Structure 1
Amino acid sequence: MVDQNTWDAGPGWSWATMLLPFLDQGPLYSQLDLNQSCYSPTNLPVESTKLPVFLCPSTSGSHDSFLVRNEAGQPLQINGSGLEFGRSHYVASHGQESCWGECGASRTGEVFTNIYDGTTQVVQIHGDVSKVADGPFYRNSRTRFRDVTDGTTNTIFLGEHSSRLSDKTWVGVVPGAFTHPQFTSPENGPDAAATLVLVHGGPSGGELDITGFPIIHPVNFPTFHVGQMYSEHFGGGHVTLGDGSVRFISENIDLFTWAELSSISEGEIVGEF
């Protein structure tokens, strides 16, 4: 099954599923048939499993499993049945750029190539997200440490996303699924399936603020996008850098510094943060 608007397809397994054997979840991992899709009936019986390792105790939103929803907000039906996925309060970084909304729905997409002046170029995507993504995680990514030329200590790999804002999962991405905000703001709305497991730091093609400037959204930024990091910790949130270290990042971090930390090989020089 392929989503004709976003090119999402099976098997769809997420970064978190791949980590299960290293998080003392070998028995659960062994029950998953990774040769089948993450929405295959074969895998559904164990995919609602609640895993404390992926849950933040300070989150006021749900810690329980949830039903995957379609664009209209109704339970998504695959082969006549709904999908109940285990929750995660942590997400992976797609980089500065996204490719699940406007650019995911067309064969070409606008990409912001310069975070400092907002200049763009049109790239041919044709389903290959690597043409757009400039972060460590994206559909079919095979990022190696040597690809992170900006330095693993200067690159965000993972971060927080409270379920108070939207549902995220450790399981994977389902074609036709949508992530919906739990509360509304002037800037947020539902976004396509990849945001079940991924977020981005901005800017992204076609994403402008009311002044026409590309939107960069660090943790807790008041756009409250379902595709951004969001924490309920006072003053900021935690991220995991490529070297494995965990840092608490202020929500008042310089916007350009946040964008620089989100990409893996743009050549920016990051100072103290």
Structure 2
Amino acid sequence: MTNGQKNRGFTLVELLVVIAIIGVLVGLLLPAVQAAREAARRMSCSNNFKQLGLAVHNYHSAYNAMPKHGTGTYLPRWSFGGHNNENKSQLSMLVGLLPFMEQQAVWEQIVNPLQNTSGSGPNPWYAMGPTPQNIGYEPWMTNLPMLRCPSDPGTGLPSMGRTNYAACLGDSAYCQIVGPMSHVLTTHQGYAERSRAADRGAFVTRYQTKFRDILDGLANTVIMGEIATDLGDRDTRTDAKFLSVGIGVPTTASTLGGNPSLCQDGTDPTRPQFWASGTDNLGKTNSSIGRGYKWASALPLYTGVTTILPPNSAVCASTTRYIHGGTASGSNIPGAGTVTAADGDQANGVFAPSSRHQGGVHVLMGDGAVKFITDSIEAGNSQAQMVSWEGVAGTPSSTPGSKSPYGLWGALGTRASKETIQAEL
């Protein structure tokens, strides 16, 4: 002690005040830190897409065509379901891109016979592997970092190798699975005509498109879109609603082809991003069915996007295997027939792009540019009929060659509809 004064420390009140101030500062800084982290993740996601764009261009330089979506080994006819000795042309365009995105090791496993340690199927596996839902085939279970957005937390079973990036199939839900499969028909009009009318995206299932086919210009055409993978939480963007109405004739408002907005029915009014408890979503029946669950599969739920409903809209799959609903027997429409919820992942549908980013999604343009498209992009009339071969004369939005009924968003997804895009994205 000096000069009769006592040393004194902080009082309890002073300590509490300091702690409170620190707490307030941390509370103020935390959102900024979280925003900075998300900005970094979003930039990393964009960089992944740029690398995929380079891979597509390098592939095209090597083969003078884009990778085929729906390729591989197959029987003389199209068929669904699993198979150990062949993949039935169910492989996505991402498989063909592997050597061009520094995944040569995985590519070598796929194109050569591979030892089978699963206990089922041939040993070794045949070159190009079995159908993509076979969990015993190691390449199909491999998660590739370039195909994952850092903002998406999805991981592990019941999914296989996940992807956050998918091929753009255009602005119609017709022929999404089979494409121009005219050779499987003997008594009916071929799928080729229907595919030419409806498959207007940069990628057409089982048909190899080229840059020269994109008449609207590479800079004006979306060739891939971002998708969020399913977390098993009944998210409307990742757990497809199972529609019993089928694609249907495009002039019928009660079918998906005549009214894509049917996808939005069944959401929880208190939480619009999730399905209500009574909605028949695919994940409720089979937990292994989810958006982005199989990067190797060409089925649209896993690796396809459409420019029908705007980004981050609900996704839905129809009960139609190929084109129309109804029963196969007695139908005059080739390929008509229904599927059950167990194999509903093989159905056509409306599959909007989605993301874990705030307010929109990344898309890859044909020239390799990556754009961020907001959820509020002008998307025309969601109740308008889809363009199809069965479009009725005098109905401009549904006849072949029509401009997209889904506004700027639909126009971006078509490769040769001669629609000019005047706004900067």
TM-score with structure 1 length normalisation? 0.64
Task: Indicate which of 200, 220, 232 corresponds to 2:356.
Answer: 232
Cα deviations across residues 100-148 of structure 1 (Å, max 9, x unaligned)? 68x97xx99xxxxxxxxxxxxxx95537773321001121121111100
Give the Cα separation in 2 of the matches to 1:154 and 1:137.
15
Give the Cα separation in 2 of the matches to 1:261 and 1:187.
31
Give the Cα separation in 2 of the matches to 1:30 and 1:246.
29
The structure, 1 or 2, with the larger RCO (C-alpha pairs under 8 Å, 6+ apart) is 1
Residue 88 of structure 1 is matched in structure 2 by 163
The answer as to whether partners of 2:132 and 2:140 remain within 8 angstroms in 1 is no
**Larger strand percent:** 1
Give the Cα separation in 1 of the matches to 2:137 and 2:239.
18
**Number of residue pairs aligned between Structure 1 and Structure 2:** 208
Task: Indicate which of 290, 297, 312 corresponds to 1:220.
Answer: 312
Residue 377 of structure 2 is matched in structure 1 by 253
User: CA-atom RMSD, angstroms?
Assistant: 3.7
CA shift, 1:87, in A, is: 0.5
Give the Cα separation in 1 of the matches to 2:166 and 2:369.
16
Task: Indicate which of 196, 199, 205 corresponds to 1:139.
Answer: 205
Give the Cα separation in 2 of the matches to 1:65 and 1:245.
33
Task: Indicate which of 130, 137, 146 corresponds to 1:53.
Answer: 146
Letter in 2 for 1:148: I
Secondary structure of 1:47's match? helix
Residue 126 of structure 1 is matched in structure 2 by 191
Give the Cα separation in 1 of the matches to 2:134 and 2:156.
20
CA shift, 1:151, in A, is: 0.6
Give the Cα separation in 2 of the matches to 1:94 and 1:154.
15
> Quick check: 1:242 aligned with 2:362?
no
Task: Indicate which of 292, 296, 304 corresponds to 1:198.
Answer: 304
Give the Cα separation in 1 of the matches to 2:141 and 2:194.
28
Q: Flag the 1:135–1:188 CA change in 2: closer, same or farther, 3 A.
A: farther
Give the Cα separation in 1 of the matches to 2:364 and 2:280.
25
Give the Cα separation in 2 of the matches to 1:151 and 1:188.
40
The answer as to whether partners of 1:20 and 1:26 remain within 8 angstroms in 2 is yes
Q: Flag the 1:35–1:63 CA change in 2: closer, same or farther, 3 A.
A: closer
Percent identical among aligned pairs is: 27
CA shift, 1:66, in A, is: 3.7
Structure 1 spans left out of the alignment, 5+ residues: 68-84, 109-122, 169-180, 203-216
Cα deviations across residues 153-192 of structure 1 (Å, max 9, x unaligned)? 0100111110144389xxxxxxxxxxxx995269984499
Give the Cα separation in 2 of the matches to 1:262 and 1:32.
31
Residue 324 of structure 2 is matched in structure 1 by none
Secondary structure of 1:19's match? helix
Residue 23 of structure 1 is matched in structure 2 by 101
Secondary structure of 1:22's match? helix
Q: Flag the 1:98–1:188 CA change in 2: closer, same or farther, 3 A.
A: farther
Residue 206 of structure 1 is matched in structure 2 by none
Q: Flag the 1:237–1:252 CA change in 2: closer, same or farther, 3 A.
A: same
Give the Cα separation in 2 of the matches to 1:138 and 1:259.
16
Secondary structure of 2:191's match? coil
Secondary structure of 1:91's match? strand
Give the Cα separation in 1 of the matches to 2:358 and 2:133.
40
Structure 2 spans left out of the alignment, 5+ residues: 1-74, 82-86, 112-126, 183-187, 231-236, 241-266, 268-272, 283-288, 290-297, 317-349, 380-406
> Quick check: 1:154 aligned with 2:220?
yes
Q: Flag the 1:129–1:48 CA change in 2: closer, same or farther, 3 A.
A: farther
Q: Flag the 1:260–1:48 CA change in 2: closer, same or farther, 3 A.
A: same
The answer as to whether partners of 1:159 and 1:229 remain within 8 angstroms in 2 is yes
Give the Cα separation in 1 of the matches to 2:133 and 2:356.
34
**Larger helix percent:** 2
Residue 92 of structure 2 is matched in structure 1 by 14
Give the Cα separation in 2 of the matches to 1:65 and 1:16.
21
TM-score with structure 2 length normalisation? 0.43
Give the Cα separation in 2 of the matches to 1:99 and 1:137.
13
Task: Indicate which of 184, 187, 199 corresponds to 2:275.
Answer: 184
